[in-house]
Amino acid sequence: MNSVSTFSISFAANGCGTHDPERRALLGIDAFNVIRAGRCPALQFFGLMASARLVLCLAIFLLLSLNSVQAAAFTATLDRDTTSVGESVTLSLTFEGGAPKAAPNIPAISGLAIRYGGQSSQHSFVNGRVSSSVIFNYAVTPTKVGDYEIPAFQTVIEGKTIATQPLKLKVSAAAAPGSQEEQLKQFVYLKLILPKTEFYVGEVFPVEIRLYSALDAQELQAPQLASEGFTFGKLQQVPETRTQIGNYVYHLLAFKMTATAAKTGRLTLGPAQCTLTLKVPTNNRRRSDPFDAFDDAFGSFFGNRVQLLPKTLVSETFTVQVNPLPKANAPSGFGGAVGNFTMAVTVSPTNVAVGDPITIKTQISGAGALDNLALPALDGWKEFKTYPATSKVETSDELGLQGTKMFEQVVVPQNTEIKVVPELAFSFFDPNLKGYRTLKQAPTPVVVRPAGATQLPPSVPADTTSPRETPAIQDIVHIKPNLGVLTAAGLPLIQQRWFVALQSLPVAVFFAAFLRRKRNERLANNPRLRRKRQVAQTVQAGLSELREHAKNQQPEEFFATVFRLLQEQLGERLNQPASGITEAVIEERLRPHGVNADMMGELHELFQTCNQARYAGHRSAKELAALVPKVESAVKDLKKLPDDF
């Protein structure tokens, strides 16, 4: 209201309002009365705008006040309802819509030690509604075994008495102290889960490996499960969850895969193993203590309170009975399928001519080894020409145990005596029923016309009301009396040379590409041959450079090129890096292999000439050109050396 009061005073002093001091003292009320009475027409427009703004602000304020009203609430909760002697649980008292000035006093309960652990607050603004809550935390540590009841709490908020529900806590005996290895078993362990322990050979079943850990861990390796007599599918990891077992809250990490029994008898499945690194607290405080969060956050500053402990976890093992499939009552068309399936068959088209294809689509759905399913051979279909079936699998679960396998097979009728597509049957062994089942599709009627015969279109009754007449069909075509000018036919294309040559062009291109590919494969598989060709190109280019350097009278570049060419050629023959070839290699590698003295002397002379060129004076173009034939001769002789150095 301060802005409105100032507005009234300023305009009243300018003569637009009354000069009565008592009315000026009314401030904003004076201004509104003047405007409403029409005594100051100049301010009527501005006054109306100010009034509208005031009303809008008041409406928004009232709306927010109504939305922000929150009913007072008071609740009490325990983070878990079971624990053991010495293991603390957290009691939380939550106040919403108001809070006491101090933490509530908890009455003494025999067998429970309760201490205050601090308070926290939460605020939120959702859809125009403001909510806030204050939480008081208490650590409740049992000292004796038994079933305890924490009584209801009462408090007064804004003149209303609000009460909570009583809480129950079950306390068991503490675990006996033991070695660190024994203590860790209750905090982290591996569990192998099977649906049952009796299977049939060829039966596919799910296997689950669960990792329970109440401690933080890192560097987890995927579990391994290798057992003789079983084949396993791909290992799949399930997203991590949390679960409470007894007094502890565990991180649960599950791995799933499929297993298939490959042989019969009593087999051992497991154990599953995995390795990880545990973060084990080194202090004596228990994990359930509410101050552990503070220790984890500032442990590295005040000293390491956690040690890294490598650990290999081993699950239990199962003795599994794998039974053979019974030989009695086995269907003749049984192909080894084990599971529970249904079958649907479609045949189309059903009206064909001799030699036209008929497509048979078979869908087998259910649970089992879908990839290994196969249709029985159509051995008795002598009146049909059959082609191999194509198939594809669509799974409906993450492990691929359930889904549909679709087969598509083409058969061709060979005569018009065929009236039906024979019966189709699929047999499998059902482990749940412990017996064989056969699914059958009844014969499908078909119409087979003679080859080349066309199917007559359906007859349509004539429209007798139409005045138009159908033109008569002319059966006989008029014979031409004059055949026209006769011309000699040219030679067939097969007898023309250019056509034959054109047809041989693709063959020539194919063989050229084939030879090129073989050449590239030979080079790729023979590094020494590839290097030999590269060195030959390098030497050829280097000899051309020598002539240019001699012609331009460039002794430094000339002898550097000579030395490089000798290194490349000798390195290729000796199968050594070119950078490691020196004059000493001649005596170490060439002389023991009986290289003639003339070549040895020629190489020594060239190496010494290159070394002397660093300190020698000017060389004429004639002198440089005279050395080129010697280099060519030396390189040529080196190429003749065998490859077995």
Provide the 10 A C-beta neighbour count for residue 403: 17
Q: Are residues 62 and 100 located together in one domain of the fold?
A: no
Decide which of 35, 50, 68 is a domain's last residue.
68
Look at residue 436 and tell me if it is in a domain.
Answer: yes
pLDDT at 54: 62
Is the pLDDT at 587 greater than 50? The verdict is yes
Minimal CA–CA distance to 47: which of 25, 29, 59?
29
What is the C-alpha separation between 444 and 422, in angstroms, rounded? 7
Q: Are residues 252 and 345 located together in one domain of the fold?
A: no
Q: Are residues 266 and 246 located together in one domain of the fold?
A: yes
Higher pLDDT, 38 or 613: 613
Residue range 441-445: mean pLDDT, rounded: 92
What is the C-alpha separation between 636 and 645, in angstroms, rounded? 17
Is the pLDDT at 266 greater than 50? The verdict is yes
Cite the beta strand spans of 298-389 per DSSP E.
Answer: 306-314, 318-323, 339-348, 351-353, 358-368, 384-386
Lowest-pLDDT range of 102-106, 390-394, 514-518: 102-106
pLDDT at 384: 92
What is the C-alpha separation between 52 and 35, in angstroms, rounded? 14
Higher pLDDT, 286 or 610: 610
Q: Are residues 10 and 116 located together in one domain of the fold?
A: no
In the block, tokens 């006989």 appear at 476
Look at residue 25 and tell me if it is in a domain.
Answer: yes
Is the pLDDT at 85 greater than 60? The verdict is yes
Tally the domains of the chain: 5
Give, in degrees to the nearest 5, the angle at Cα 70 between 67 and 75: 155
Is the pLDDT at 10 greater than 70? The verdict is no
Q: Are residues 286 and 384 located together in one domain of the fold?
A: no
Q: Are residues 350 and 277 located together in one domain of the fold?
A: no
Lowest-pLDDT range of 6-20, 461-475, 491-505: 6-20
Look at residue 387 and tell me if it is in a domain.
Answer: yes
Identify the H or E element spanning 470: none
Cα–Cα separations (whole angstroms), residue 382 to 101, 358, 413, 418, 523: 96, 15, 9, 11, 54
User: Whole domain around residue 343: which residue ranges?
Assistant: 334-449
**Exposure of 156 in the CB half-sphere (CA atoms within 13 A):** 1
Lowest-pLDDT range of 83-87, 178-182, 581-585: 178-182
Residue range 360-369: mean pLDDT, rounded: 94
| Residue 47, burial from CB neighbour count under 10 angstroms (0-12, 13-18, 19+) | buried
Look at residue 221 and tell me if it is in a domain.
Answer: yes
Decide which of 13, 46, 68 is a domain's last residue.
68
Cite the beta strand spans of 246-328 per DSSP E.
Answer: 248-261, 265-269, 273-281, 306-314, 318-323
Look at residue 517 and tell me if it is in a domain.
Answer: no
Residue range 191-197: mean pLDDT, rounded: 94
Which CATH number goes with the domain that contains 568? Answer: 1.20.120
Q: Are residues 194 and 162 located together in one domain of the fold?
A: no
Q: Are residues 197 and 311 located together in one domain of the fold?
A: yes
Look at residue 518 and tell me if it is in a domain.
Answer: no
Residue range 16-26: mean pLDDT, rounded: 40
Q: Are residues 339 and 375 located together in one domain of the fold?
A: yes
Q: Are residues 344 and 415 located together in one domain of the fold?
A: yes
Q: Are residues 579 and 608 located together in one domain of the fold?
A: yes
Tokens describing residue 337: 């399928």
Confidence of residue 195 (pLDDT cuts 50, 70, 90): very high
Decide which of 172, 202, 218 is a domain's last residue.
172
Which CATH number goes with the domain that contains 200? Answer: 2.60.40
Q: Are residues 543 and 619 located together in one domain of the fold?
A: yes
Look at residue 116 and tell me if it is in a domain.
Answer: yes
Residue range 293-319: mean pLDDT, rounded: 68
Look at residue 442 and tell me if it is in a domain.
Answer: yes
